[in-house]
Copies of this chain bind each other. A is one copy, B any other.
């Protein structure tokens, strides 16, 4: 089997400009790595079964919870267990890596104009 090739995050983020639209960059053991650019407010939602990890690469991301906020800067990450309601928000554009089960729907239990059913692989 040939050797695998590395993934350069800067290169992946340069390939798209649209917001709140996760792109798949890799997978292992049923968990996908996704890159996403965000700006503004997302919807309140939760995931019935999927835990998800947010890792800030560039910019700042606030994750609102019903009992408080977490503010994430580059080099900081947050694992959100399933069933916990949350709302991501970024005042300025931010670059995020998501690690979550392949089948995770971005808007979780709700369907909104930001829902993306089929993710692109880049």
Chain A residues with a Cβ under 8 A of chain B: 1-10, 26-31, 33, 50-53, 57, 65-68, 70, 72, 75-81, 83-84, 99-101
Within the complex, the shortest CB–CB distance from A60 to chain B, in Å, comes to 12
Within the complex, the shortest CB–CB distance from A80 to chain B, in Å, comes to 6
Q: Which residues of B contact A81 (CB under 8 A)?
A: 1, 4
Contact across chains for A7 and B79 when beta carbons are under 8 A apart: yes
Within the complex, the shortest CB–CB distance from A33 to chain B, in Å, comes to 8
Closest to A64 in B: B3
Within the complex, the shortest CB–CB distance from A87 to chain B, in Å, comes to 12
Knowing A3-B65, A3-B70, A84-B3 are in contact, say whether A29-B30 is a contact too (CB < 8 A): yes
Contact across chains for A51 and B29 when beta carbons are under 8 A apart: yes
Contact across chains for B1 and A83 when beta carbons are under 8 A apart: yes
Contact across chains for A28 and B99 when beta carbons are under 8 A apart: yes
Q: Which residues of B contact A26 (CB under 8 A)?
A: 53, 77, 79
